[in-house]
Chains A and B, each alone.
Chain A
Amino acid sequence: EVQLVESGGGLVQPGGSLRLSCAASGFTFSDYDMDWVRQFPGKGLEWVGRTRNRVGSYSTMYAASVEGRFTVSRDDSEKSVYLQMNSLKTEDTAVYYCTRDNWGSLDVWGQGTMVTVSS
């Protein structure tokens, strides 16, 4: 079964840091680009960032709203992708989803992990 399982969410103060993890199973992880998407409390969805696969030189891209604060990385040997979030703001409060990027589409989603930024 193709599956993505996120972990690492929680409550953090503004200005703090958090690292999310996503473990993949059921498919050849190293073949795929992987993305993070977040869903705000009002339910809107925002693409956050992406790591390409080895063919894409593991390049990364970010939404303007998180550029310079968030970093996406991956470990193909662990079949995992990560989202390092620094300098967190209250507006980063959201459910964060790990997704598989498949040619202009996000065909597999994890269950999500909640991040709350609040003092």
Chain B
Amino acid sequence: DVVMTQSPLSLPVTLGQPASISCRSSQSLVYSNGNTYLNWFQQRPGQSPRRLIYVVSNRDSGVPDRFSGSGSGTDFTLQISRVEAEDVGVYYCMQGSHWPYTFGQGTKLEIK
């Protein structure tokens, strides 16, 4: 199985400051059709996971543009340009290029 490794696992951030989460895969996530199926999810306290980003950098409808995804091959990043209080929660990366789908361990974002 593809191992997804996130860092950091805990991320204290001051309101209004940027935040960055890294996700690395144990093998390339480039699929046979040329797409890279790397996703980011947000899980707020007490809620189900919600998809934020798909195919590395595509934001879901309703996701604020302060969230952005980047990367290629095996190295990916989720960036939040200015953290707001509503961003508190756990962020997971997930690969959908290889079976079975696998998730990172999660990064807990909290306000300093």
Report the count of interface residues on A (CB-CB < 8 A): 19
Residues of chain B from 61 to 112 with CB closer than 8 A to chain A in the complex = 90, 92, 94, 96-97, 99-103, 105-106
Instruction: Assess whether A106 is in contact with B51, with CB atoms less than 8 Å apart.
Output: yes
A11 located at the interface, meaning its Cβ lies under 8 Å from any Cβ of chain B in the complex:
no
Residues 55-110 of A at the B interface (beta carbon under 8 Å): 61, 63-64, 97, 103-107, 109-110
CB contacts (< 8 Å) of A109 on chain B: these are 48-51
A47 at the B interface (CB under 8 A): yes
**B37 near A112: Cβ-Cβ < 8 Å:** no
Is A46 among interface residues, defined by CB-CB distance under 8 A? yes
Q: How far is the CB of A2 from chain B (nearest CB, A)?
A: 11
How many chain B residues have a CB neighbour from A under 8 Å? Answer: 23
Q: Which residue of B lies closest to A65 (CB)?
A: B100
- How far apart sit A44 and B108, CA to CA, in the bound complex (Å)? 12
The verdict on A111 contacting B48 (CB below 8 Å), with A63-B100, A104-B96 known, is: yes
Q: B37 is contacted by which of A47, A61, A104 (Cβ under 8 Å)?
A: A104
B106→A61 contact, CB < 8 A: no
- Say yes or no: B51 contacts A107, CB within 8 Å: yes
B39 on the interface (CB 8 Å rule)? Answer: yes
Q: Which of B39, B90, B101 has the most CB of A within 10 A?
A: B101
Q: How long is the Cα–Cα vector from A106 to B97 in the complex, in angstroms?
A: 12
CB <8 Å contact, A107 and B99: no
Q: Which residues of B contact A (CB under 8 A)?
A: 31, 35, 37, 39, 48-51, 54-55, 60, 90, 92, 94, 96-97, 99-103, 105-106
Q: What are some 16 contacts across the A-B interface (CB < 8 A)?
A: A35-B101, A43-B106, A44-B103, A45-B92, A47-B101, A47-B103, A61-B99, A61-B100, A97-B48, A103-B96, A104-B96, A105-B54, A105-B94, A106-B51, A106-B96, A106-B101
